[in-house]
Amino acid sequence: METLESNAVSTIPATKSAPRHSGLVRVTHWITTLCFFALLLSGIEITISHPRFYWGETGTVMTKPMFQLPIPSSRKTVPTGYGYVLPDQNGWSRALHFEAAWIAVLTGLLYVIYGLLTRHFRRDLLPSKTDFSWRALLTSFVKPFRFQRPSAADASSYNVLQRLTYLFVIFVLFPLVIWSGLAMSLGFASAFPWSVTLLGGQQSARTIHFFVTLALVLFLVVHVLMVILAGFWSRTGAMITGRDGARKENT
């Protein structure tokens, strides 16, 4: 009797679990990742050509900067205090920056439209009322500093700190870095002068663009550290194939 029951149970097909990340989320994630590194590399080269930052509408080599990066420039006309200049790679870097930026913007729009239509943001990222209890907030802040691999329950969803961080990056930092980037374009400034005025001028937009980029780099570093802590290969595999390897590791 026991043998018949065990055989009957073994013949029941196992239900296939839903993917941790949908196909569109995975594709947009990796396209955005590639674009971000292209933007970061080209942005560094563009910054080297003039590592001085101003506030207001104008800023030149004759203007006192708001602050200056302690690095040499790739242009002789920019006073940096160094007796030499770096190779000027401003041409290809600006072209790459422009192309990668538009690909990132279109990819981001696709992701946002998908997230709104499928209620991905509401279901997976928008915190609930219980998430704002003192216990949930304290746990979300303390657990990352324990440097322990999360349990299966913790790995299956985001805590309130993660949810708020992702929402802030998606709906605040990304739009602001796009806005400030467009505000530095002469064509965009001519068509929409009010958008530049709201940022304080084109040089202010460049300074804001720089600090928002630093915030995004900080987010990237913390994000990668959390992925490593949770299980780098399982998390990376889940973002590539959709299958959640973390569930197998914790079972």
pLDDT in tens, 92-108: 999 999 999 999 999 99
Tokens 């205090």: give the residue. 81
Q: Looking at residue 21, what is its pLDDT?
A: 74
Is the pLDDT confidence value at 2 over 80?
no
pLDDT in tens, 4-60: 434 444 444 444 555 667 889 899 999 999 999 999 999 999 999 999 999 999 898
Is the pLDDT confidence value at 226 over 70?
yes
Comparing 114 with 7, the larger pLDDT belongs to 114
Is the pLDDT confidence value at 140 over 70?
no
Q: Looking at residue 197, what is its pLDDT?
A: 95
pLDDT in tens, 143-194: 655 555 555 555 556 777 888 899 999 999 999 999 999 999 989 999 999 9
Q: How far is CA 107 from CA 31, 174, 222, in A?
A: 7, 12, 23
Q: Looking at residue 231, what is its pLDDT?
A: 81
Comparing 210 with 130, the larger pLDDT belongs to 210
Q: Looking at residue 19, what is its pLDDT?
A: 63
Q: Mean pLDDT score of the chain, rounded to an integer?
A: 83
Q: Looking at residue 249, what is its pLDDT?
A: 43
Q: What is the dihedral of CA 123, 127, 130, 131, to 10 degrees?
A: 130
E strands, the chain, are 52-53, 67-68
Is the pLDDT confidence value at 200 over 60?
yes
Please state the domain extents for the chain: 18-143+150-249
pLDDT in tens, 75-95: 999 999 898 999 999 899 999
pLDDT in tens, 230-245: 788 888 888 888 776 5
Q: Looking at residue 248, what is its pLDDT?
A: 47
Q: Which fold has domain 18-143+150-249?
A: Fumarate Reductase Cytochrome B subunit (1.20.950)
155: nearest Cα among 218, 216, 213, 238: 238
Is the pLDDT confidence value at 1 over 50?
no
Sign of CA dihedral 139, 229, 108, 241: negative
pLDDT in tens, 211-223: 999 999 999 999 9
